[in-house]
Amino acid sequence: MLKKLNLGIKLNLLLLSIFIGLVLTGGLVLSQLLEGYGEKVVTDQALILIETMGSVREYTNNQVNPELAERLENEDRFLPQTVPAYSAREVFENLRKREQYRDFFYKEATLNPTNLRDKADSFETEIVESFRQQPELTEKTGFRSLPSGKIFYVARPLAVSEKSCLRCHSTPEAAPASQIATYGDEHGFGWKFDEIVGAKIVSVPAFKIFNYAKQLQVLVIGIITGFFLVAILLINRFLKVSVTKPLKQMAQLAKEVSTGNMAGEFDHDSDDEIGILAKSLNRMKVSLEMAMNMLNSETN
């Protein structure tokens, strides 16, 4: 079947095959590169945020808590500002008020929290349990699907590392009266020193990064397609002007020469392969014309 096709169609089929292979291979490689870059971006964002929240917790525990400890004993109203988890959560919620961070989340997911807003859901409970079962595990990352889209999370174990924490979380009798008055005596007790009671989890919106990566992939493939189409048009134009058109003219002249019409010339201005062929055909025509003249003179 290919033998019946002209040179232009054969070349276009070859270029089309190359283009399809290039798009498939390049698209796959580009997809993997962009996906890897997207994961790196969301990972870096999450790590920066979780380190920042860790610093807020340390500041609250070392600077704020000692200053407010006396008021915590004497006042009827509990001061949540003395709790590192509360400070970290409030700082992050202030950050989320900015448009570019509204899809970011921070939670100290706890199995038995004092404040029920920190209660771990089923997904977060699995993360906490993995830390409890593997004490050597210091960090866990992954993706989670939410109604708003795909998010990337970084989780770190939350352990009772300070004995001062047990004052509010060991027994209701040991807890400040203001804490009992605010949160009751049913939740957030029974914690033990060095026990992993929860997980600090930062979640960042991965769907935005990956959507941008997909758009970039489509754009790059579109640009490659555009360049390739322009290249095909230019190659076809060059092929028509420099190869197929001169060859057709030579074929027509050769046909006329074969019928005895020696008036035509194989004209080609270039010194390329087509030009060399034209000169060779002209020499052959001259030789044929001389042979025919000699034959005619001998006959006469």
**Is residue 139 in a domain?**
yes
Q: How far apart are CA 169 and CA 110, in angstroms?
A: 12
The helix/strand/coil state of 84 is helix
User: What is each CA distance from 183 to 83, 84, 173, in whole angstroms?
Assistant: 13, 16, 14
Backbone angles phi, psi at 88, to 5 degrees: -60, -45
Identify the CATH number of the domain in which residue 101 sits: 3.30.450
Check: CB of residue 152 under 8 Å from CB of residue 204.
yes
Q: Which helix (H) or strand (E) holds 199?
A: strand 196-205
Tell me the two tokens of residue 172: 């209701």
**Is residue 216 in a domain?**
no
**Is residue 107 in a domain?**
yes
Backbone angles phi, psi at 256, to 5 degrees: -65, -40
> What is the model's pLDDT at position 264?
66
pLDDT surpassing 70 at residue 1:
no
Confidence of residue 3 (pLDDT cuts 50, 70, 90): low
Mean pLDDT of 44-67: 90
Predicted TM-score (pTM) above 0.85 = no
Q: Look at residues 83, 239, 112 and name the one whose alpha carbon lies nearest to residue 176.
A: 83
Q: Which residue has the higher pLDDT, 96 or 295?
A: 96
> What is the model's pLDDT at position 155?
95
**Is residue 140 in a domain?**
yes
> What is the model's pLDDT at position 274?
74
**Is residue 182 in a domain?**
yes
Q: How far apart are CA 120 and CA 223, in angstroms?
A: 47
Mean pLDDT of 196-214: 89
pLDDT in tens, 215-243: 888 898 888 889 888 988 898 888 887 77
Mean pLDDT of 39-44: 89
Check: CB of residue 262 under 8 Å from CB of residue 254.
no
Check: CB of residue 111 under 8 Å from CB of residue 128.
yes
DSSP string, 133-167: H-TT---EEEEEEETTEEEEEEEEEEE---GGGHH
Average pLDDT score, the chain: 85
Q: Look at residues 280, 285, 296, 287 and name the one whose alpha carbon lies nearest to residue 261.
A: 285
> What is the model's pLDDT at position 147?
84
> What is the model's pLDDT at position 10?
81
**Is residue 64 in a domain?**
yes
How many CB atoms neighbour CB 53 within 10 A? 24
> Over pLDDT 70: what percentage of the chain?
92
How many CB atoms neighbour CB 236 within 10 A? 15
Domain count, the chain: 1
Tell me the two tokens of residue 90: 């409030």
Check: CB of residue 154 under 8 Å from CB of residue 50.
yes
Mean pLDDT of 134-159: 90
Mean pLDDT of 174-179: 84
**Is residue 191 in a domain?**
yes
> What is the model's pLDDT at position 110?
94
**Residues 6 or more apart whose Cβ sits within 8 Å of residue 239:** 7, 8, 11
- Chain centroid offset of residue 26 CA: 14
Maximum alpha-carbon separation in the chain:
141
> What is the model's pLDDT at position 154?
94
Q: How far apart are CA 197 and CA 40, in angstroms?
A: 29
Confidence of residue 2 (pLDDT cuts 50, 70, 90): low
Tell me the two tokens of residue 123: 């997904």
pLDDT in tens, 92-145: 999 999 998 999 999 999 999 998 899 999 999 999 999 999 989 999 999 988
**Residues 6 or more apart whose Cβ sits within 8 Å of residue 96:** 102, 104, 105
> What is the model's pLDDT at position 137?
93
**Is residue 180 in a domain?**
yes
Domain of 101?
44-206
